[in-house]
Amino acid sequence: MPTSSDPILRPGVAVLGTGGTIAGVATGDPSLPGYTAGALGVDALLERVPALKRLAAVEAEQVANIDSKDMDVAVWCRLAQRVAHWLAQPQIAGCVVTHGSDTLEETAYFLHLVHRSSKPVVLTAAMRPATALDADGPQNLLDAVRTAISPVARGLGAVCVLQGRVHAARDVTKARADSIDAFASGERGPIGRLRGDDVEIWRRVPDEAGAPFEVPDPARWRRVDLLVSHAGADGRLLRSALRDADRPHGVVIAGTGNGTIHSEIESAMAEARAQGVRIEIASRVGPLHGGAGDGLNAVKLRVRMLLELAAAGVGA
């Protein structure tokens, strides 16, 4: 008689590795904080979570193996292509992406904006390396797979699963640098949680205007800079960028409060707009419901502008 461990009964999930702390290896005593990110391959991560074999039929692929501070659009494009490939396979219920924590929110929002399947993409990370005595990666990976194969996760697009909570890609941000409970979703809060084997979703994710976007060809990516307004600011950085031969096609400015901008920068913004540069304003406080930047933080507003400029063919 078939059991739940038989491949024919287990849902399929593709786990795509990109590196990060979750794949990190201690450089010395595993009880101490020093480690090298992205040292282990995704197969090695899966071996550390034997429960996965009973839960799902797992396909693994190494897309990249980097510290996520070094994430770039080339990896984003490759990752989006491989996600689309796996989700097109009928036996695959969803995709899991293992990722570094530093730029997790940017990659998640990018994948959400280009996502075209009802099957979920679930990103996860860790704050402690895989070789740590109290590594948090294995549980996060197990929870991510549980979410990816859960019927209630269909239609959510890309989400992040960490510390037993499910976060929408639009809302999630890294809020702490020294705690395993490092991620939050601002005023909106998580969209769900895991309780044992069960995945609970409390609210659905609103549609994104203009999405899904095409994954841009390399020649269609445009330069979008990110600047911050602050006490004593002036417009020199923006004016200097405008003089570059490869000047930006767009600029996101993280303003103070609810997106207020220093008057010196406002003057430079007017000059930039007169030259055809698109300017958007977010808040350095973070995502604000109904506030600056359509409620997006500055780095996500930049991700969205990158895709919008590419779709519009700006500068082509």
Residue 136's nearest CA partner among 22, 19, 44, 50 is 22
Known catalytic residues? 21
Instruction: Spell out the residues 6+ positions from residue 29 whose beta carbon is closer than 8 angstroms to its own.
Output: none
Q: Which two tokens stand for residue 230?
A: 């602050």
Residue 96's DSSP bridge partners are 15, 122
Q: In what order do the strands lie in the sheet with 12-19?
A: 57-66, 12-19, 92-98, 121-124, 158-162, 165-168, 192-195, 198-201
Query: What is d(CA 44, CA 52) in angstroms, rounded to the nearest whole number?
Result: 13
Per DSSP, which regions of 99-143 are E strands?
121-124
Query: Dihedral angle at the C-alpha atoms of 172, 174, 175, 181, nearest 10 degrees?
Result: 90
**3-class DSSP state for residue 57?**
strand
172: which DSSP letter?
A: -
How do 198-201 and 192-195 pair as beta strands?
A: antiparallel
Q: To 5 degrees, how large is the angle CA 100–CA 65–CA 75?
A: 85
Under 8 Å between Cβ of 93 and 154 = no
Under 8 Å between Cβ of 156 and 201 = yes
> Between the CA of residue 294 and those of 159, 280, 291, 302, what are the distances in Å?
19, 10, 6, 12
